[in-house]
Structure 1
Amino acid sequence: MRDDTHRASTGVIRITTYTLGLMAEETPPASPEPPRAPVTAADVLAWLEETAEAVRSGELDAPALIDLLGQLRQASTACANASDWALLAAREAGASLRQIAPVFGKGYVRAPAARLEKLHREVLSSEQFLELMRRRMGTG
């Protein structure tokens, strides 16, 4: 023990497999990162500011903007579908309508309840919803 103390004070530290084992036990396992949306409001705003500058400088003409509009409408539909899937999955995972309501911007449960009711007319689960989206995209 005294020899190890001396080595530590001189900057030489002896690491054994036993020490590594203890270190591994003391280190809590890394928790997986929670999933993140593929695009955020901040991402969209930054892109919008860059694109608006390109329009002001004349880099984008009307046909390019019309093409861009079509792309954005498709992306908007994809985001709405992803939101619907997440709503179904959250309910299946046990989330209550009261827990979900704030993300709808309301303090009451009518908005998510109405959305779920509409979704349940087509599908019963998030997996069925995903399969429906695959069929609509022609990949399933």
Structure 2
Amino acid sequence: MCITSYTLGCMAEDTAPASPKTPKAPITAADVLAWLEETAEAARSGELDAPALIDLLGQLRQASTACANASDWALLAAREAGASLRQIAPVFGKGYVRAPAARLEKLHREVLSSEQFLELMRRRMGSA
């Protein structure tokens, strides 16, 4: 996992109260780090064998895909809500708009809106 200044800022904000209208991500970088430290200790102590770690790897890859899909949805929704690429760019860890612009371009090859993206995810989950 790459920790950027944005991630560190978000981790610091974890202690700040969220406004009632601002949703929070279901998992944070701090949550993952705490879990990783516990799990690494269990692996070092021999509590986790290779098959358990492979199963864990599969779960993490599925969760990673789900987080990437949620991120894509949020990107589409932010643009629909009027956010500019300049406002979005820092979230990508870049000071320029190429990264979110390229991601939006790729997403727009499949869907035109966050609602269409959500429907696509529903269909994919139904066929998985």
Shorter-chain TM-score: which interval?
0.7 to 0.9
Does structure 1 conserve the Cα–Cα contact (< 8 Å) formed by 2:11 and 2:28?
A: no
Q: Sequence identity, in percent?
A: 91
How many correspondences in the alignment? 126
TM-score (norm 1): 0.76
Distance 1:85 1:30, change over 3 A: closer
Q: State the Cα distance separating 1:18 from its structure 2 match.
A: 49
Which of 58, 71, 82 is 2:59 aligned to?
71
Distance 1:53 1:20, change over 3 A: closer
State the alpha-carbon separation in 1 of the partners of residues 108 and 40 from structure 2: 40
Partner of residue 74, structure 2: 86
> C-alpha deviations, 1:49-91, integer Å up to 9, x for none?
0000000111000000000000000000000000000000000
Q: State the Cα distance separating 1:44 from its structure 2 match.
A: 0.2
Does structure 1 conserve the Cα–Cα contact (< 8 Å) formed by 2:86 and 2:97?
A: yes
Unaligned runs of 5+ in 2: none
Unaligned runs of 5+ in 1: 1-14
Q: State the Cα distance separating 1:32 from its structure 2 match.
A: 2.0
Q: Which runs of 4+ in 1 moved over 4 A?
A: 15-31
Q: Secondary structure at the match of 1:70?
A: helix
Q: State the Cα distance separating 1:26 from its structure 2 match.
A: 29
Q: Secondary structure at the match of 2:127?
A: coil
Return the structure number with greater relative CO, CA threshold 8 A, min gap 6: 2
Q: State the Cα distance separating 1:20 from its structure 2 match.
A: 44
CA RMSD across the alignment: 12.0
TM-score (norm 2): 0.84
Q: State the Cα distance separating 1:38 from its structure 2 match.
A: 0.3
